[in-house]
A and B are shown apart, each in its own frame.
Chain A
Amino acid sequence: MRALRIYIALFRQMLKVRLAYRGDFVADLFATALGGLASLFFVLLFFRPVGELAGWRQDEILLIVGLSMMSYGLFATVSWNLFEFGDRYIIEGRFDRVLLRPISSFAQILCDQFRIPVLAETAIGTAVVAHAVAGLELDWGVVEWSFVALTVICGALLYVFVFSILASVSFHFEDRIGVAPPVFNLIPFGRWPQEIFPWPIQALLRWVIPFGFVAYYPSTALLGRTGLGGLAIAAPLVTLSFGGLAALCWRLGVRKYESTGS
């Protein structure tokens, strides 16, 4: 509880700093909105001449895309540092300062660059989901919407854990870019029905980099499609186990930290 108070104080200060750079804030907001709309636009452009994809209608695909965008927006508010971790913290040496404070180093990294504007992606995702639900004439009650909320939160955490595992690789190999970009590029894979991919890719997105659990498997449950029920509700378990793995990797990384920044 007292840790939470500290993090809230950190958040508030960082938020104030972000808001002080109003130009950046607005540009970030526009760019995020444009990015969200571009993803949406791609689906619409794609479906216009195509009509149907492996038995999925446009609105069903939009449900997956919308859920994935909601999770991604939440993740991106806190995660920017994870992508720049090797560069900002290891090579430029900011991690020294982090280690000198008596609170969790990982939490400090997450709090250090809080980005409000990317919540635009969550907002657009919410609208997309709402549109899809209306278009599919689904009659959802509290249970379904609670499941959506749980899915979104688990998805966001799953992204955080996966990318923090990748960020902790920076402790061992100094490199400005890091190993996250190719995994980041896997996110779009998770926005399509998995059955269109051959089994190695399906397995990859299920067991190795489990982006399938962010939106696809939960969507199959929400849409009442058969065959994947077990996996559909496994998302929280997958998230939890990746949380454990992420904590372990971070710990090992900190022990290896060489503080060579100048």
Chain B
Amino acid sequence: MSWIRISWKNLLSKKMNFSMNVLLVAFGTSILTLLLLSSEQFKSKLSNNSRNIDLVVGAKGSPMQLILSSVYYVDFPTGNIPLKEANKLAAHPMVERAVPLALGDNYEGFRMAGTDSNFVILYGLELKEGKFWKAPFEVTVGSEVARNQGLQVGDVIHGAHGLSSSQDLHAERGYTVTGILKRKGNVTDNLVLTSVESIWNMHGGHDEEQDKELTALLIKYSSPMAVVMFPRMVNQTTAMQAASPAFESARLFTLTGIGMEVLRWFAILIMLIAGASIFISLYSSLQERKYDLAVMRVMGSSQEKIFLIVMMEGVLLTLIGSLVGVFLGHLSLQVVSHYQEMGQTRFEPWIFMKEEFLVLGGGLCLGLLASAIPAVQAYRSDISLILATH
């Protein structure tokens, strides 16, 4: 009979104690796992969605709001900018590519973006079926939009005014789905793409060139020198504002990071409480079991084996607790992603990260630490004295 089995049988003989300790460890580990998965995916989604966009130009207001609305599609735009002014910037020698964005409508909670073929190049979009939009009132939908709404090429859909509500429907004119995009794992999966002209036509009053407006311009620089000069030029010489996705994303991550840090310490505190609980239960059970251990020594067990049996109890407890916790962490993210707003890129709950081994390793170390003192005490116990005084 192996010493692991002896430890296991002993743990199982006190089911309530065993369950409580496993639950405590699992609770701490699940929070750590959830934080790890969500923060890493959040960070990766932030950088993935803003890749190839050096600068966003939009109406004056909060730069973070501009980035959130025009790059991540999660906030309201700061306003509109004149097409004429936007075209001037697009033609600037420091600009390699400028992608126009006209926002303001949604389809069943999914945002509609009026743009041109530069958007396709910017995100490297590919078609799963059909073709890209071309004429006004043609749309190409993201993979998640098609999946969620069961859309096929040729379907006609109706947009609604606003960014999430379906109440103010543009019932007078529909859009024809000409294509469905392949999944990219970024914001484009949740967008309905059409031409800028479609948005203008839908809202009317943009017949004159000087009346035409855009929501934002996504810019890629042609030269590294532009990093310093171009935003300053926009902010100082025009009525528009320039915001850097990299800078604002980092700021956003720092802001959300404070909350995550608090949660992380909370999880670590729970793990420490779990460690103390395991220590107390092993220590008190050692007092009850010292005669058991002495009898095992009489039967020929070495001191080392006794040490390992006690250590293994702590390790098994924390290993099981950590594994359950990692699973619960993923399950929690599944619940979170289920309730995420439809138009946003969802968390992927069943992606496993190698950092999760660190969480498991941390749990194991906790088990080793918590059982070390009881194990050493069991190792050193004087069996003759225990048997004589029992």
Q: Is A bound to B?
A: no
